Amino acid sequence: MYSRIEMIERLKNANRSKGMSDEVLADVIFNLCDAAQVVNPQMRYQHFLAGLRNSEWKTTLQTTMVNDIPRAVITLLYRNMHFPTEDEFEFDGDVTKKPNCEEIMMQ
């Protein structure tokens, strides 16, 4: 089990990975916020915004009157932006993990 401080650190480092939709990122942020005991909806939304890598999504959300995660997801769904358009430069710093033997056997 992780301590609250470790969960907050994981929350700060949570980013959308390649192919991840906004709904999945929202679920990840909600779960990490629950584990880190972050209950303020505005703080949760700020962590969600920080985890977005798609500049078009960020711009859309920052120019609307959205201030919480459920409304952000609905806004992106309404504008048909919930499926990510991947830009390679957004994921330049990511290291791709090679599957180990156990992961291959589990598939």
Q: Report d(CA 29, CA 22) in Å as an integer.
A: 10
Among 60, 69, 80, 65, CA closest to 28: 69
Q: What is the pLDDT of residue 2?
A: 80
Q: What is the pLDDT of residue 37?
A: 92
Q: What is the pLDDT of residue 83?
A: 66
Domain residue limits, the chain: 4-106
Q: How many CA atoms lie within 13 A of 36 on its CB side?
A: 20
Specify the DSSP class assigned to residue 3: -
In tens digits, the chain (107 residues) has pLDDT values of 788 889 999 999 998 888 888 899 999 999 999 999 999 999 999 999 999 888 888 999 999 989 999 999 999 999 887 666 666 655 556 555 544 444 443 44
Q: What is the pLDDT of residue 85?
A: 61
Q: What is the pLDDT of residue 100?
A: 46
Q: Report d(CA 18, CA 23) in Å as an integer.
A: 14
Q: What is the pLDDT of residue 94?
A: 57
Among 25, 36, 29, 27, CA closest to 3: 36
Q: Which pTM does this prediction carry?
A: 0.73
Among 47, 51, 54, CA closest to 82: 54
Contact 67, 42 (CB under 8 A): yes
